[in-house]
């Protein structure tokens, strides 16, 4: 099923698992899942429920209700016999590295983002920025995830030397809609309840402002994605259904997937001990694709799997401003 892209879901499995016992007794669990069917929240609930059953512990059943948006009549149409196709060049050269941020670095990034933002607000205390942030409800604390994303956004954009100063860059991330809809959806709703949200800024804007500025923009996008915005996105999709156009066509985009908050180590002990590592496979990877994972130690550290064009990766791993928050990075 690796890299399967088709409308074969009626005949082919929506998920498959492969368990490999290695020579030294270590166990490797590999899997694929159809992302139309589950998002990360549902996937980890499923996986950890499975592990819980193996340990003989009580489990919380998922919520299979399907009554949030009414019956959809949307149909995806494709011409002839062709189904959906990959929307990026899957053969383009790509380098992938796992960047480790220690818990102290994550705290440092969050403190830096909130500190610079506070001083930005003080400078413009009667100005429009503060007003806009308030209108968007953007005055709450910037999260550590948003701070880390802003750090990646700025650093990767610095490393993309081919971009003009006035080029527009886009940072995409997924928002969990469960607790944002009114009425709320159960946290154990089984399905895909994420939407992708985009934040934009020009290369020059990112370069001339500090970390707090970029982090505040990401924060404002997420805060604004409440019930009304979610329902509008769903209605827009109903009116013009399409497959999600994954990729980076203008070379100026970043897409953050997964989340350091998913319980990838706490809760999925099958009775063999704590997992040693969680990694994603090779599907859906392109220049600018990143996936966030909690650190294995469970101490608040974060691993970010970063995919970039080879030149960009080379420059990123030599960028001192970037590396000051990185605990250990592979050599360039
Ligand atoms: C993924 O799931 C959707 C929704 O059930 C289905 O239409 C599609 O064919 C599936 N794709 C694959 C590759 O299984």
Comparing C-alpha atoms, which of 199, 201, 200, 196 is closest to residue 233? 196
Distance from the Cα of residue 70 to its chain's centroid: 27
- Residue 10 Cα to ligand 1 midpoint, Å, equals 7
Residue with tokens 């308030």: 134
- Residue 33 Cα to ligand 1 midpoint, Å, equals 10
- Residue 173 Cα to ligand 1 midpoint, Å, equals 22
The tens digit of pLDDT for each residue in 304-330 reads: 999 999 999 999 999 999 999 998 656
> Per-residue confidence at 117, pLDDT binned at 50, 70, 90?
low
- The average confidence (pLDDT) of the chain is 91
Q: What is the pLDDT of residue 39?
A: 97
- Residue 304 Cα to ligand 1 midpoint, Å, equals 28
- pTM (two decimals): 0.92
Q: What is the mean predicted confidence (pLDDT) over 223-233?
A: 96
* DSSP category for residue 184: P
The tens digit of pLDDT for each residue in 284-302 reads: 999 999 999 999 999 999 9
| Rounded (10°) angle between helices 103-123 and 144-159 | 90
Residue, of 220 and 74, whose pLDDT is higher:
220
- Residue 67 Cα to ligand 1 midpoint, Å, equals 20
Give the DSSP H/E element, type plus range, for residue 292.
Answer: strand 289-294
Q: What is the pLDDT of residue 135?
A: 44
Q: What is the pLDDT of residue 83?
A: 84
Ordered by where they begin, the domains of the chain are: 38-82+94-323 (3.30.559.10)
**Closest C-alpha residue for ligand 1 atom 4:** 36
**Closest C-alpha residue for ligand 1 atom 10:** 9
Which residues does residue 189 pair with via DSSP β-bridges, in sequence order?
Answer: 63
**Closest C-alpha residue for ligand 1 atom 12:** 9
* Cα separation, 25 vs 21, whole angstroms: 6
* Cα separation, 81 vs 172, whole angstroms: 32
- Residue 32 Cα to ligand 1 midpoint, Å, equals 12
Neighbours of 162 (CB within 10 A): 10
Counting Cα atoms < 13 Å in the Cβ hemisphere of 262 gives: 22
Q: What is the pLDDT of residue 67?
A: 78
Residue with tokens 């290695």: 22
Q: What is the pLDDT of residue 127?
A: 53
Query: In the predicted model, is pLDDT for residue 11 greater than 70?
Result: yes
Q: What is the mean predicted confidence (pLDDT) over 280-287?
A: 92
Task: Please list every protein residue whose CB sits less than 6 Å from any atom of ligand 1.
Answer: 4, 6-9, 12, 14, 34, 36-37
User: Is the bond into 189 cis (omega within 30 degrees of 0)?
Assistant: no
Q: Hey, which of 36, 43, 246 would you mutate to test ligand 1's pocket, going by the most ligand atoms within 8 Å of its Cβ?
A: 36
Q: What is the pLDDT of residue 5?
A: 84
**Closest C-alpha residue for ligand 1 atom 6:** 9
Atom number, ligand 1, closest to the C-alpha of residue 1? 13
Q: Hey, which of 14, 32, 39, 85 would you mutate to test ligand 1's pocket, going by the most ligand atoms within 8 Å of its Cβ?
A: 14
- Residue 84 Cα to ligand 1 midpoint, Å, equals 10
Q: What is the mean predicted confidence (pLDDT) over 241-262?
A: 95
**Closest C-alpha residue for ligand 1 atom 11:** 9
Compute the residue count for the chain. 332
Q: 193 Cβ partners below 8 Å, 6+ apart?
A: 39, 41, 42, 176, 177, 178, 185
* Cα separation, 6 vs 239, whole angstroms: 22
């Amino acid at each position: 099923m690796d890299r399967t892209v088709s409308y074969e879901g009626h005949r082919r499995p929506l998920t498959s698992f492969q368990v490999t016992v290695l020579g030294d007794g270590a166990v490797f669990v590999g899997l694929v899942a159809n992302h139309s069917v589950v998002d990360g929240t549902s996937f980890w609930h499923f996986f950890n429920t499975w592990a819980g059953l193996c340990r003989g512990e009580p489990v919380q059943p998922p919520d299979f209700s399907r009554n949030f948006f009414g019956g959809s009549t949307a149909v995806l149409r494709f011409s002839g016999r062709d189904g959906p196709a990959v929307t990026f060049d899957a053969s383009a050269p790509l380098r992938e590295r796992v960047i480790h941020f220690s818990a102290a670095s994550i705290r440092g990034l969050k403190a830096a983002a909130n500190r610079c933002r506070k001083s930005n607000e003080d400078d413009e205390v009667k100005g429009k920025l503060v007003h806009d942030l308030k209108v968007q409800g953007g005055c709450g604390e910037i999260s550590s995830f948003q701070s880390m994303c802003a750090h990646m956004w700025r650093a990767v954009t610095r490393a993309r030397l081919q971009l003009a100063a006035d080029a527009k860059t886009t940072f995409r991330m997924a928002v969990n809609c469960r607790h944002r809809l009114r009425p709320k959806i159960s946290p154990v709703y089984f399905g895909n309840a994420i939407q992708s949200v985009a934040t934009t800024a020009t290369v020059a804007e990112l370069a001339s402002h500090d970390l707090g500025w970029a982090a505040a923009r990401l924060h404002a996008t997420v805060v604004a994605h409440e019930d009304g915005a979610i329902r509008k996105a769903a209605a827009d999709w109903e009116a013009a259904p399409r497959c999600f156009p994954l990729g980076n066509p203008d070379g100026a985009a970043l897409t953050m997937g997964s989340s350091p908050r998913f319980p990838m180590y706490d809760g999925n002990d099958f009775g063999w001990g704590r997992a040693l590592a969680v990694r994603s496979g090779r599907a859906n990877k392109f220049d600018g694709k990143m996936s966030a994972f909690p650190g294995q130690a469970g101490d608040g550290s974060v691993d970010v799997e970063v995919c970039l064009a080879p030149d960009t990766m080379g420059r990123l791993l030599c960028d001192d401003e970037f590396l000051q928050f990185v605990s250990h990075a592979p050599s360039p």
